[in-house]
Structure 1
Amino acid sequence: MTTPAGRRWGGEGAATDDEQARHKLLDAGERCIAQRGDTQIRMVEVADEAAVARSTLYRYYATRDDLLLALVLRRIDRAAARWVAGLRRPRDAAASIRELVLHPVTAVDGDPVNLALYSGDRGTLISVLDEGTDAITAVLAGHVGPLFTQWKRDGQLHPDLDLRETMQWISATTSFLLSSQWRHRAPSAHRRFVDRYLLRALLV
């Protein structure tokens, strides 16, 4: 890939926009994850896949965990935007929260990157998610915040609920349902869990 000036992107002096460069590197990271089937990628693999020097990759992502977190945040941001926009009854807090928890569970199968992220060995991903809890919460809150405010105004949620804490509970519930013990259970079991242990705590 070349810049308008004919230079290879990522090379010294190449005029590639930083945001564009980050996306190209994350795209390469996703391809590597899909090819390997897990998150045990090496930075050199990603650099080779992106056709850049390792120094270019390290300029944007100092460690593999930094790269993985940025990749996960981008996927969450894009997915949350789709899911919020596609809510069937956005004014109904119970129905919407249930969808927001269960959508990620059903989105794993059929997506090679998601399958790799949630493969049997999730140790690397779990540590990355733990480190990125605040960032993940901020992304989710940005998409769900307006609805959350409306639900509280309508009296559907407990008035003392905090948006960020609620997003953490939603995210934690999804992560639990994606665990090896729960991921392959029937959708009806997932729904019962959400209704019994999450919605009861949030809804008035």
Structure 2
Amino acid sequence: MQFDLLIKGGRVIDPASGLDAPRDIAVADGRIAAIEAAIDSETAGDVVDASGCIVTPGLVDLHSHVYWGGTSLGVDADRLAAKSGTTTFIDAGSAGAGNFLGFRRHVIERSKVRILAYVNISFAGIFGFAETVSVGECSDLRLCEPRETVAAVREHAAVVVGVKVRSGKHAGGTSGIAPVDLALEAADRAGLPLMAHIDE
């Protein structure tokens, strides 16, 4: 046997190579070893019949909230990953400078799946987003401090991909466009992208 695992008969979709066809995939030592129209089952220790299934490289969720236990809208990334084929979650600003360390230590570093994150311009991140409690994190501009955000971005650079802001009637109350301006300032100073969620 030359392969540890053989995934047979699935529809392989690989956007990077332009492949979208029925293929067999062989795995050896934790890596893809062969992708062919047909690979003999006798060459693998374990064979999985993927007929009727899509086989694809791990998916990246570009907008998630995975600060599970730290914010009311957070989901458990590891549980979700196993069901969705997601190998990387990009958290869209669940945590701000004031609680990013907790998010990193208690969720990101303990997770089996890869998590990268945007740091929320709000020092407290998204803290009051539930059916019965709705407090916009940018409604009090004292919470939106670019210096603190940039410091958090730099401290956690290994897992941070940008700055996040939620602005509008629900997230910002009467703050108008000011939270976006402050977040853009932080993103520019950090040299990273800004993700903006604009509500009413």
Question: Where on the TM-score scale, by shorter chain, does this alignment land: which range?
Answer: under 0.3
If the length of structure 1 is used for normalisation, what is the TM-score? Answer: 0.26
TM-score (norm 2): 0.26
Relative contact order (alpha carbons < 8 A, sep ≥ 6): 1 or 2 greater? 1
Higher normalized helix content (fraction of residues): 1
Structure with the higher strand share, 1 or 2: 2
In our comparison, the structure showing a higher alpha carbon Rg is 2
